[in-house]
Amino acid sequence: MRKRVVVLGATGSIGESTMRVARALPEHIEIVGLSGRNNSERLLGLAQEFPSAHLCAGSEASAEELRAALPGRQVHHGHEGLCELASLPEADLVLVAIVGTAGLRPALLALESDKDLAVASKEILVMAGEQVMATAERMGGRVLPVDSEHNAIFQCLEGQDPSTVKRLILTCSGGPFRNASAADLASVTPEQALRHPTWSMGRKISIDSATLFNKGLEMIEARWLFGIPMEKIDVVIHPQSIVHSMVEFVDGSIIAQMSTTDMALPIQYALTYPERYAGACAPLDLTKVGTLDFEAPRTDLFPALDLARRAGTAGGTLPAVLNAANEAAVEAFLAGRLSFPGIWEGVARAMDTVPFVEHPTLDQLIAADHAARLVVES
C-alpha cells in the first residue's frame, strides 16, 4: 500500500528533497497535499506533477491564480489552508517542513486527525515539544524525525532498551566559522554566514548553522523526541558530516549512522518507516571520504550551545523564548540591523527578561514567543 503524504513547505529545500524521494518511490509514496507560501510558480509545477494533490498557497490571490491554471483543483490558502491540508481525510502522514513555528498548529492537528507526523521543522518541537509528544501519545500517532541527526539517533535506537542509553551524541559540522576567532566573528556578513561548508539548505537554518543555534535547537528537539534529559545530550564537532549522530550505551558501545550529506535519506526513512527501499540517495563510499574527524565544540566563542542547554534544562517557556528570539535575531541579522554576535546577545537578553512560566499552556507559549521577539526588536 502506498503511503499518502501531505508536504507542508513543499517549495523549500526540504520540500525539494522530499519531491526527489517521491519521484524515486512512486510505488510507495503518493503525494496528496502540497503547500508553498510565496513561490507559486514552483507550487504550480509540483501541482502539475502530482495531479491528485490538494494545494495550499500563501495568499488568496495566489490561490486564485492556481485555480485559474488548474480548473477543478482543490486550492486552500493561508494558515487556515495549512490546517485543512494537515487534516485531509485521505492522508496517512503529514510532513511539516515550514521554516519557524507556523507549522505548529497544523502539526498538532495532523496528530489529532489520526495521522503520523514527520517533523523537519525543529522549531515546533523546541517551542512545544511537550505538547506535540503528549498529543502523539494520546492519539497513538508517530512523530518521525526528519532532521538528519534525529533520524540517525532514531535509527541507532531501534531495537534497543531505552534504559541502556547512556547519552545521545549529536554531530555538528561546526558551520562556516569552525576555526574563526572572536574578532572574525564580530564582522561576519550575512553572505559569509549563508555559505555552509557541507549542506545546502534554506536561509534561516544556514544562519542557525553558523551561530550553532541549529545544534542548540537540535539538543532541545532531541530531548523531546527521545524523552531524554538534557544532561544526557552531547554535541561533538564532525566537519565531514558523514556520521549524522550517535548513541552511546551503558556498556560503552557507540552506535553511529552514516550516509552522504543528502536530506533525501532521512526524509525517505521518515516517510517509508519502518521499511527501507533503494531510493533517491547516492551510496556512501568511505574510501573516498578517507578521514572522519571529531573535536569538542568551542562553547566559549559560540554561546548558543550553553544557552540551549539552559533552556532545555529549565523547560517551561524558556525554549520557546530562545527559539522566537533566535528567529527574530536571524531576521534582523539578514536585514543588516544586527551584528552576527548580536544574535547570541539578543537571545540571551530575551531569556533573561521574558517572565518564566514553568508549566505553560499553548497560549502562554505563544505569548512568550511574542514577548521574546519584542525584546530582540526593541
Q: What is the strand order of the sheet 54-57 is part of?
A: 75-77, 54-57, 29-35, 3-8, 93-96, 116-119, 143-145
Could you tell me how far CA 118 lies from the centroid of its own chain?
Answer: 10
121 binds, among Mg ion, ligand NAD, none (CB under 5 to 8 A by kind): ligand NAD
The answer to whether residue 221 forms part of the interface with Mg ion (CB under 5 A) is no
Cα 209 to Cα 217: distance, rounded to the nearest angstrom? 10
Give the residue, chosen from 14, 324, 365, 371, that forms a contact with ligand NAD under the rule CB under 6 A: 14
Cα 101 to Cα 85: distance, rounded to the nearest angstrom? 17
Closer Cβ to ligand NAD, 120 or 169, answer by number: 120
Nearest to 160 by CA among 248, 267, 230: 248
The answer to whether residue 12 forms part of the interface with ligand NAD (CB under 6 A) is yes
Closer Cβ to ligand NAD, 121 or 131, answer by number: 121
- Residue with the CB atom nearest ligand NAD in the bound state: 12
The answer to whether residue 33 forms part of the interface with ligand NAD (CB under 6 A) is no
The answer to whether residue 123 forms part of the interface with Mg ion (CB under 5 A) is no
97 binds, among Mg ion, ligand NAD, none (CB under 5 to 8 A by kind): ligand NAD
The answer to whether residue 262 forms part of the interface with Mg ion (CB under 5 A) is no
C-alpha distances in angstroms, 23 versus 53, 152, 326, 347, 351? 14, 23, 35, 40, 43
Find the shortest distance in angstroms from Cβ 210 to ligand NAD. 13
Cα 241 to Cα 331: distance, rounded to the nearest angstrom? 26
Give the residue, chosen from 84, 147, 248, 331, that forms a contact with Mg ion under the rule CB under 5 A: 147
The answer to whether residue 194 forms part of the interface with ligand NAD (CB under 6 A) is no
The answer to whether residue 98 forms part of the interface with ligand NAD (CB under 6 A) is yes
Find the shortest distance in angstroms from Cβ 262 to Mg ion. 13
Give the residue, chosen from 201, 247, 270, 365, that forms a contact with ligand NAD under the rule CB under 6 A: 201
Which of the ranges 15-23, 143-151, 314-322, 343-351 carries the binding residues for Mg ion, by CB under 5 A?
143-151
Closer Cβ to Mg ion, 28 or 309, answer by number: 309
Sign of CA dihedral 63, 69, 71, 72: negative
DSSP string, 350-372: HHHHSPP-SS--HHHHHHHHHHH
Find the shortest distance in angstroms from Cβ 40 to Mg ion. 28
Q: Strand, helix or coil at 97?
A: coil
Phi, psi of 258 (to 5 degrees): -125, 145
Give the residue, chosen from 102, 230, 236, 348, that forms a contact with ligand NAD under the rule CB under 6 A: 102
Residues numbered 34-53 forming contacts with ligand NAD, rule: CB under 6 A:
36-39
Which of the ranges 173-181, 196-204, 307-315, 358-366 carries the binding residues for ligand NAD, by CB under 6 A?
196-204
C-alpha distances in angstroms, 273 versus 155, 226, 265, 276, 277? 10, 17, 12, 7, 10
The answer to whether residue 145 forms part of the interface with ligand NAD (CB under 6 A) is no
198 binds, among ligand NAD, Mg ion, none (CB under 5 to 8 A by kind): none
C-alpha cell at 134: 503528549
C-alpha cell at 199: 549542506
Find the shortest distance in angstroms from Cβ 190 to ligand NAD. 15
Phi, psi of 279 (to 5 degrees): -135, -130
The answer to whether residue 360 forms part of the interface with ligand NAD (CB under 6 A) is no
The residues near 216 (Cβ < 8 Å, ≥ 6 apart) are 304, 305, 307, 308, 309, 311, 322
Contact set with ligand NAD (CB under 6 A) = 9-15, 36-39, 97-99, 102, 120-123, 147, 199, 201-202, 205, 263
Residues that bind Mg ion (CB under 5 A): 147-149
